Structure 1
């Protein structure tokens, strides 16, 4: 399985290393070259079965990805920007996965041409268990792909329904 990870900060880097240690092929991208160098150094120290390579652009990172996971801030503008980039640049088969505790996956997915391939993860990807968010659009196969990836890295996943109330509406009064 080929995983593209966008964002090599502390959490993205840790998840990339965890995926590589589990034998997955990982491509890591970040706008900060120092983050990528740190990831390469940490990977070299691990001596693991999977592969980790770095990419200088999002397009290079997702070129062959089965799953693309972003580690941008959990803010609407950041998520919309990365989803737009990933939607345009990733192959049509690529599942887009995003950690979010604050946003509606139904709303985020509706802003793409691949709403059935957008999966949210609640609870972060640093622990041992997470929730996969079932948006109104998501395909069961997409949930299975992400659950399978997480199982390979030792993270249990349960599927939950997306919040019924759209999170994009901040204030109704």
Structure 2
């Protein structure tokens, strides 16, 4: 068991992004522009080629020269192997989210935080289906700041089991991307857990 205060200095530097569609590519570029090391996965080679071209354009325009790196991966296992956080951009439906959460949970090291952009699902439900419920968060809102616009507000939702050091690290990570963060306990009804408790009566 970790001592009190252990891992409070945990910092997110390596980001695995699952899904290189428009949203996944935009988030990957935002992370790289913030100086983070990114591994982007997609089963469609064309999506990865687009991401590589967009990264080349972006990194060439970074005046400070402090752009992070972008690696491409064709499997989830390769993407999450050393990730501090894994963010999925699969469809926001229960079956898809459960499948990707389970895959990442099996393949990622114990340190990896599981983060999902979701407007429809309870992070408490998703966290209950993996072996690291204390390292799961959901985000709602625009994760990419547009140009000179004001910093968008992102809601970071977490299950009651969430680890404080995880929430602090995620808050710093999101603010590094230029967004404001409102952290709150998951307000959604955990349907899976509710159904399980009813079935167990």
Asked if 1:76 is matched to 2:94, the reply is: yes
Q: 1:54-91, CA deviations, whole angstroms, 9 ceiling, x for partnerless residues?
A: 01110110011001000011100000000000000000
Of 101, 113, 117, which aligns to 2:131?
Answer: 113
Match of 1:102 in 2: 120
Pairwise CA distance, 1:149 = 1.1
Pairwise CA distance, 1:99 = 0.5
CA contact (8 A) 1:102 1:167 kept: no
* Distance change >3 Å, CA 164–CA 16, structure 1 → 2: closer
Pairwise CA distance, 1:126 = 3.3
SS of match in other structure, 1:45:
helix
CA contact (8 A) 1:27 1:55 kept: yes
Give the aligned length.
Answer: 170
Of 154, 173, 176, which aligns to 1:152?
Answer: 176
- TM-score scaled to structure 1, two decimals? 0.93
Match of 1:3 in 2: 15
- TM-score scaled to structure 2, two decimals? 0.81
CA contact (8 A) 2:85 2:114 kept: yes
Measure the CA separation in 2 of the matches of 1:103 and 1:164. 7
- Give structure 1 stretches of 5+ with no counterpart: none
CA contact (8 A) 1:4 1:27 kept: yes
- Give structure 2 stretches of 5+ with no counterpart: 1-12, 146-151, 196-201
Q: Which runs of 4+ in 1 moved over 3 A?
A: 167-170
Measure the CA separation in 2 of the matches of 1:90 and 1:142. 16
